[in-house]
């Protein structure tokens, strides 16, 4: 393992460009959701707005397996990596630090890994904080097979989109199908073309450093205000980059709602202005930057609504240096597995009909299994099936009678939530309070139907709130 890139050290200062993260997710989401409402013939002009980069040779052949459609009639699941750059080239004044020219690529801020499901009913964007401390493939000449440890956002500064894609694929084992790079001045134009985007503030803001002030309540932000809002760190939240990401995700949700509102989709001139602004701000891969690809994507996205568009941040913990974070691998891996398998995340929680979701995970439930059926070996078979689901087996045995008609769960009253989890897995609703202590008792009756898997709200694998784009949330 080699030492960190020099740019990693120079980038340790906090750059005032967190607004890039906002630009990244919002611009792509606007493109994906609004294109489905536009006549595809207009895409000929819009396609010429988009810059393209071919990174095929840079990525090589040793890459994760591509996700295949789950059903013959579905589309291809897509993983799109969205990156922002703070390069000042063509940005005009007032954006970032004019003296910061350490890299021709600029630095990246929050990167978003966006999964679009094969059945085109849902999408999830996961923010990857710039201050993530990771081990990634090294980029550049003679770097094949070498790794480097440092801040995640150094990858973009060193090697642009290709290096960032290689880092993400190595960290997640998720194949990146397309990429998008956005600059923040382009996002400003998008917000202005929408006529502004509303945001709700729970508290007033007065930042003496940026001179941004705004009262509590709902405001419609212009492009300039949106960029300043995304930059804020003082006198709002806990002052961290991850707290700022949460606010940016709330704003992205508002962008989605605004872009898909009737006022945009039913106004041809405004719709075209929005799409014109969006496409001018994008740099994409060769596979996405052509008319046929955009037309195909647009037509396939008609089933994805704001309510099925969600955002979250990769689960993380502080690194301990007061500045950087590390991913919680056990939780993050569940997200990447969902992307690889094209299954919804977070998974839907289990619950009996009409009842609240289950809250106690199987690995927190101790159970003794008793055979009440008279069928030899039934208790052991059931115990093995429950163990496969994660339940802790405390023993097996025979019930007082071998003619039990209905499967029952007995538990101490203090273990009622654990009993609900076991009853769900055992496909029974019959509960009783006939035991004491931590161990539950499952008496297998002649109505036994087998076990079923349990997904519990408290074990979904995420420590980050999942935000739905159709929900209005006040920040601050």
117 and 211 both lie in a single domain: yes
Query: In terms of pLDDT, which residue wins out, 350 or 295?
Result: 350
Helix (H, G, I), strand (E, B) or coil at 305: coil
Measured between its terminal Cα atoms, the distance across the chain in Å is 41
For residue 345, give both structure tokens.
């995340």
Fill in the DSSP letter of residue 40.
Answer: G
Q: What are the Cα distances from residue 356, in Å, to 350, 353, 456?
A: 9, 9, 11
Which residue, among 329, 339, 451, 316, has the nearest Cα to 388 in the 3D structure?
A: 451
91 and 50 both lie in a single domain: yes
Query: In terms of pLDDT, which residue wins out, 270 or 72?
Result: 270
* Contact assessment for residue 114 and residue 124, using Cβ atoms and an 8 Å cutoff: yes
Taking the C-alpha atoms of residue 339 and residue 347, their distance in angstroms, rounded to an integer, is: 12
Q: How does residue 168 score in pLDDT terms, banded at 50, 70 and 90? A: very high
- Residue 356 in domain: no
Q: Specify the pLDDT at position 314.
A: 92
* Contact assessment for residue 473 and residue 467, using Cβ atoms and an 8 Å cutoff: yes
160 and 267 both lie in a single domain: yes
- Residue 1 in domain: no
Summarised one tens digit per residue, pLDDT across range 89-116 is 443 333 333 233 334 555 566 689 999 9
- Residue 353 in domain: no
Q: Specify the pLDDT at position 423.
A: 95
The residue range of the domain holding 102 is 6-347+463-475
Domain containing residue 189: CATH number = 3.40.630.190
Q: Specify the pLDDT at position 458.
A: 47
Taking the C-alpha atoms of residue 196 and residue 223, their distance in angstroms, rounded to an integer, is: 7
pTM attached to this predicted model: 0.68
Taking the C-alpha atoms of residue 106 and residue 87, their distance in angstroms, rounded to an integer, is: 4
Q: Is 272 exposed, middle or buried (0-12, 13-18, 19+ CB in 10 A)?
A: middle
* Contact assessment for residue 155 and residue 136, using Cβ atoms and an 8 Å cutoff: yes
* Contact assessment for residue 230 and residue 19, using Cβ atoms and an 8 Å cutoff: yes
402 and 430 both lie in a single domain: yes
376 and 235 both lie in a single domain: no
Helix (H, G, I), strand (E, B) or coil at 115: strand
Mean pLDDT of the chain: 79
Secondary structure, 3-state, 397-448: EECCCCCCCCCEEECCHHHHHHHHHHHHHCCCCCEECCCCCCCEEEEECCCC
Which residue, among 134, 172, 139, has the nearest Cα to 153 in the 3D structure?
A: 134
170 and 299 both lie in a single domain: yes
412-430 average pLDDT score: 91
Taking the C-alpha atoms of residue 292 and residue 295, their distance in angstroms, rounded to an integer, is: 5
- Residue 75 in domain: yes
* Contact assessment for residue 162 and residue 172, using Cβ atoms and an 8 Å cutoff: no
469 and 428 both lie in a single domain: no
CB atoms within 10 A of CB 99: 7
* Backbone φ and ψ of 366, nearest 5°: -95, 130
Q: How does residue 63 score in pLDDT terms, banded at 50, 70 and 90? A: very high
For the chain, the residue count is: 476
Q: What are the Cα distances from residue 180, in Å, to 25, 196, 270, 287?
A: 10, 23, 23, 11
335-342 average pLDDT score: 93
For residue 408, give both structure tokens.
């029952």
Helix (H, G, I), strand (E, B) or coil at 316: strand
Taking the C-alpha atoms of residue 33 and residue 194, their distance in angstroms, rounded to an integer, is: 13
- Residue 354 in domain: no
Taking the C-alpha atoms of residue 460 and residue 348, their distance in angstroms, rounded to an integer, is: 9
Q: Is the pLDDT of residue 156 over 60?
A: yes
Q: What are the Cα distances from residue 21, in Å, to 89, 107, 167, 200, 464?
A: 18, 11, 18, 19, 17
253-270 average pLDDT score: 76
414 and 342 both lie in a single domain: no
186-210 average pLDDT score: 83
Highest mean pLDDT among 255-264, 353-362, 420-429: 420-429
**Residues 444, 447, 451, 454: is their CA dihedral positive or negative?**
negative
20 and 49 both lie in a single domain: yes
Q: Specify the pLDDT at position 307.
A: 74
366 and 301 both lie in a single domain: no
Q: Tokens 């101490």 map to which residue?
A: 412
Strand-strand pairing, 178-183 and 78-85: parallel
53 and 141 both lie in a single domain: yes
- Residue 352 in domain: no
Domain containing residue 393: CATH number = 3.30.70
Strand-strand pairing, 309-313 and 467-468: antiparallel
**Total count of domains within the chain:** 2
125 and 220 both lie in a single domain: yes
Share of the chain above pLDDT 90, in %: 31
286-303 average pLDDT score: 74
């Amino acid at each position: 393992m080699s030492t960190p890139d020099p740019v990693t050290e120079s980038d340790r200062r906090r750059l005032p460009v967190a607004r890039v993260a906002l630009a990244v997710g919002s611009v792509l989401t606007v493109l994906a959701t609004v294109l489905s409402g536009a006549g595809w013939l207009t895409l000929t002009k819009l396609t010429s707005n988009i810059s393209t980069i071919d990174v095929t040779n840079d990525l090589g052949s040793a890459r994760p397996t591509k996700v295949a459609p789950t059903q013959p009639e579905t589309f291809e699941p897509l993983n799109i990596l969205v990156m922002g750059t703070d390069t000042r080239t063509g940005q005009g004044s007032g954006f970032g630090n004019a003296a910061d020219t350490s890299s021709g690529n600029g630095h990246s801020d929050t990167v978003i890994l966006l999964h679009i499901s094969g059945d085109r009913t849902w999408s999830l964007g996961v923010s990857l904080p710039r201050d993530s401390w990771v081990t990634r493939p090294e980029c550049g000449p003679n770097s094949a097979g070498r790794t480097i440890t440092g801040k995640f956002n150094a990858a973009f500064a060193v090697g642009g989109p290709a290096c960032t894609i290689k880092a993400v694929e190595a960290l997640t084992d998720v194949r990146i199908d397309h990429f998008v790079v956005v600059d923040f001045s382009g996002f400003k134009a998008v917000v202005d073309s929408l006529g502004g985007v509303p945001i709700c503030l729970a508290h007033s803001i007065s930042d003496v450093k940026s001179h941004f002030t705004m009262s509590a309540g709902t405001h419609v932000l212009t492009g300039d205000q949106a960029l300043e809002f995304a930059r804020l760190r003082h006198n709002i939240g806990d002052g961290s980059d991850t707290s700022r990401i949460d606010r940016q995700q709330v704003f992205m949700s508002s962008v989605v709602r605004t872009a898909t509102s009737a006022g945009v989709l039913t106004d041809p001139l405004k719709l075209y202005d929005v799409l014109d602004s969006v496409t001018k701000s994008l740099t994409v891969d060769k596979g996405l930057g052509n008319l046929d690809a955009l037309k195909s994507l647009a037509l396939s996205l008609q089933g994805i609504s704001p309510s099925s568009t969600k955002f979250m941040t990769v689960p993380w913990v502080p690194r301990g240096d007061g500045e950087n974070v590390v991913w919680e691998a056990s939780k993050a891996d569940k997200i990447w597995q969902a992307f690889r398998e094209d299954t919804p995340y977070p998974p839907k929680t289990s619950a009996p009909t009409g009842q609240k979701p289950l809250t106690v995970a199987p690995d927190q439930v101790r159970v003794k299994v008793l055979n009440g059926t008279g069928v030899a070996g039934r208790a052991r078979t059931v115990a093995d099936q429950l163990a496969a689901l994660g339940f802790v087996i405390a023993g097996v045995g025979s019930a007082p009678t071998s003619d039990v008609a209905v499967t029952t769960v007995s538990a101490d009253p203090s273990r009622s939530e654990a009993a609900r989890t076991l009853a769900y897995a055992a496909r029974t609703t019959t509960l009783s309070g006939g035991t004491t202590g931590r161990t539950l008792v499952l008496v297998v009756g002649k109505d036994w139907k087998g076990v079923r898997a349990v997904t519990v709200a408290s074990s979904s694998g995420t420590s980050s709130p999942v935000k739905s784009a159709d929900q209005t949330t006040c920040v601050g």
